[in-house]
Amino acid sequence: MSKPRDKQMTIDEVVAQLSDGMTIGIGGWGPRRKPMALVRAILRSDLKDLTIVSWGGADVGLLARAGKIRKVIYAFVSLDSIPLEPNFQRARQNGTIPEVVELDEGMFQTGLYAAAQRLPFLPMRAGLGSDVLVNNTWIKTVTSPYADENGDFEDFTAVPALKLDVALVHMNRADAHGNATYLGPDPYFDDLFVQAADKAYLTCEEIVDTAGLTVDTAVQRLLISRMAIDGVVETPNGAHFTTCTPDYERDEKFQKAYAAAAGGTDEEWTAFEQRFLAGDEAAYQAAVAAFAAEEAAK
């Protein structure tokens, strides 16, 4: 019997699999467990004209500021303690994202479900009577072919599938084959992103032996199967500056510095970019460590 394939890759090898114009789903939730090491690698690349599908946080903000996004599909873009992601806010105010689709959170989830089941759409009640349908006239309604108890045929929103070319997610632990587990309080629908995509890549805090994925866990947290994963990258602190509970929480001091630079002058943003985003991932992590030391010394 053959053994499961070793799917370990580097960050740059994953980004090399991406191409201009792709629809990329980014897992996590706002400022929680985002695959930020991959987002930073996309920033360093020549990729452009991307469609980004995300419960957005700094991933959307950074890619928008860099001019990488042609279209964004989202339910929100927030940093939690900073309600509006400042780079995304700037892009929306300046109209630098050519196409924007804002969905109800339930509709966003249903769109991923439809794509995961390889269906063109799924019906739901969310959206009816709201400005979601007013602002997105391409989203249609559908009439049930089955009468309800009153003999009426109910109308539903026909939520279109959010089909992804690629999904990018970050997990706490994974094995070399692509099985992955989360250790924090919430899976954040990362499994749906993976199932909705033609290809999926995951980063993780640590690659462990397969047996180690279920050690010391009171509940079943094995979320992602190797059958759906095309590549695995070990990226310690790779979700920074978002949370990756219990490995680390959100870096609020760094997030505050990020937001100040994003909302400041072009010169202030350029200085932030040069310090933290100009180099590779190792340079980023070194700059973050130096920043933390400076903050601790204050």
In this prediction, the residues of the chain whose per-residue pLDDT falls under 70 are 1-2, 216-220
Q: What Cα–Cα distance (Å) separates residue 181 from each residue in 38, 234, 243, 245?
A: 19, 13, 15, 12
Q: What is the distance between the alpha carbons of residues 103 and 56, in angstroms, rounded to a whole number?
A: 12
Which tokens go with 57?
């946080």
Question: Strands (DSSP E) along the chain, which ranges?
Answer: 23-26, 50-56, 69-77, 99-102, 121-124, 141-143, 155-160, 164-174, 180-181, 197-207, 222-224, 231-234
Cβ pair 24, 198 in contact under 8 A? no
Residue 195 CA to residue 21 CA, distance in Å, equals 20
How many residues make up the chain in this entry? 298
Q: What is the pLDDT of residue 221?
A: 78
Q: What is the pairing mode between strands 50-56 and 180-181?
A: unpaired
pLDDT for 220:
61
Q: Write down the pTM of the prediction.
A: 0.95
What's the gap between Cα 209 and its chain centre? 26
Report the candidate in 281, 229, 223, 288 with the shortest Cα–Cα distance to residue 254.
288
pLDDT given at position 218: 52
Contacts of 73 (CB under 8 A, 6+ apart): 51, 52, 53, 54, 101, 103, 108, 162
Please give the domain boundaries of the chain with CATH numbers for all domains: 11-104+162-297 (3.40.1080.10), 122-160 (no CATH)
CA distance 83 to 188: 19
Query: Helices H, strands E: what count in the chain?
Result: 10, 12
Instruction: Residue 168: name the closest of 21, 40, 4, 20 by CA.
Output: 40
pLDDT value at position 222?
83
pLDDT tens sequence across 142-176:
999 999 999 999 999 999 999 999 999 999 999 99
Taking residue 265's Cβ as centre, other Cβ atoms within 10 Å add up to 9
End-to-end CA distance of the chain: give it in Å, rounded: 59
Do 210 and 175 meet the contact criterion of CB atoms below 8 Å apart? yes
Secondary structure string (H, E, C) spanning 206-262: EECCHHHHHCCCCCCCEEECHHHCCEEEECCCCCCCCEECCCECCCHHHHHHHHHHH
